[in-house]
Structure 1
């Protein structure tokens, strides 16, 4: 699969070149009050030492589906660009189209994520295995079955609580990255009542309980002293991914 930039002609090449950035319109009334800022909640905590510089919105729709809706991909792109300019006139935009061989199959949005080198989509694609293959490999070792929300150790299903599996899944989907306790709290308890939100010490308790259920494989969840926790994959660890992106990925 490859990428093509989007312009009014909607070219069909695999080259990628930047789309002209959106220029802010000149103000018509210098004294006009600034629009009210929507104080929408943040999706997740930004790690210390970093700053958010923008975002990617993956749109999965092929040309036939767009035509059936009475539009085309170029019009959708232009509408999103106009909306961005209205909300944030100083924002710059870049658009690209994901191309795949005809009849390749798969969900449109997953094709787009892979073409745009989304790390989570690449990891899912690289490590995805069939159910039969997983079961053959599960005689010993660890299977984190995200598709069925279960953990299998040495071919035995482990009884995890809902939050324990959420915690394990959050770390697994961010393999190799150290996750701060504050991020775990803000992401896994984002909609909880104030009295249900744990503190950082409580997160340590959750992790200890999870590790106790991991048994001899407890070191796949590592403590990074003074920072947080990290999932480290071993050779005897298999991840079974869901057919759709995990709901905690945006």
Structure 2
């Protein structure tokens, strides 16, 4: 099942807390500042849409077209808003309301809390044989021991992991991982090769998960001995 969520992409990544699900509140309660955690301020919203490809086709549309129409409308009423869209993937035949399946697939905290929780990352780290890429805590555990990745090495690995199976060009890695730097301060594409080489060295026997696509860039390939802990609120890759 494939579904859609439209999410505002913040320009920075502070510690974000999601306010209660507005769909379950009255209009008055949804707009009340009392619903916000202390010290928090709204930065955007998530709209979870339960609508698989079969239903979309029956309605004469596609998921991609729905996303583009929503973006076009948003650009008209809020031209400065940034958007982020992803497809929610769930096992074929997953039961429940479509929108609830979407919320679970995209790891919306309130929906996840109603299901069996994941093992705590610390427990995963102690018991894992192979590699644990813990995105929620920005660390990599190899055979129970934490790998000494630098901040930028982890950011590079995370960027590839969140776009699993897609080849990322060096130019995209430079523009995304060194965003906001002046052109004269931004590294060249060969700097990416240096970071990848160092990253692979620290991955040891599992360095093949970062695959070189000759003449193009790099790709993360899933390995049977690699576990990814995304955590709550981790952004999904942009699919539209």
TM-score range normalised by the length of the shorter chain: 0.5 to 0.7
Task: Report if aligned partners of 2:131, 2:227 keep a CA contact under 8 Å in 1.
Answer: yes
2: CA distance, partners of 1:70 / 1:167 = 39
Instruction: Quote the residue 1:159 is aligned against.
Output: 148
- Relative distance call for 1:225 and 1:85 in structure 2 (3 A) is same
2: CA distance, partners of 1:201 / 1:207 = 10
- Root-mean-square deviation over aligned CA pairs: 4.1
Question: Pairwise mapping of residues 92-103 of structure 1 onto structure 2 (< 5 A)?
Answer: none
SS of residue in 2 equivalent to 1:147: helix
- Relative distance call for 1:148 and 1:87 in structure 2 (3 A) is closer
1: CA distance, partners of 2:100 / 2:170 = 28
Question: Pairwise mapping of residues 23-38 of structure 1 onto structure 2 (< 5 A)?
Answer: none
- Give unpaired runs (5+ residues) of structure 2: 9-20, 33-70, 80-94
Instruction: Quote the residue 1:58 is aligned against.
Output: 7
1: CA distance, partners of 2:179 / 2:173 = 9
Task: Report if aligned partners of 2:170, 2:217 keep a CA contact under 8 Å in 1.
Answer: yes
* 1:179-208: CA deviation from partner (whole Å, max 9, x where unpaired): 111111111111123333111111111100
1: CA distance, partners of 2:238 / 2:142 = 26
Q: TM-score when scaled to structure 2? A: 0.56
Question: Pairwise mapping of residues 46-195 of structure 1 onto structure 2 (< 5 A)?
Answer: 57-58=6-7, 61-64=22-25, 66-70=27-31, 84-85=75-76, 115=102, 121=106, 129-131=118-120, 134-135=124-125, 137-138=127-128, 140-195=129-184
Q: Is the counterpart of residue 230 in structure 1 residue 219 in structure 2?
A: yes
- How far off is 1:86 after superposition? 5.0
2: CA distance, partners of 1:117 / 1:157 = 29
SS of residue in 2 equivalent to 1:198: coil
Task: Report if aligned partners of 2:210, 2:220 keep a CA contact under 8 Å in 1.
Answer: yes
Larger radius of gyration: 1
- Give unpaired runs (5+ residues) of structure 1: 4-54, 72-79, 89-99, 103-110
SS of residue in 1 equivalent to 2:22: coil
2: CA distance, partners of 1:227 / 1:2 = 29
Task: Report if aligned partners of 1:58, 1:112 keep a CA contact under 8 Å in 2.
Answer: no
- How far off is 1:69 after superposition? 3.8
Query: Paired residues, what number?
Result: 166
SS of residue in 2 equivalent to 1:62: helix
**Counterpart among 183, 201, 206 of residue 212 in structure 1:** 201
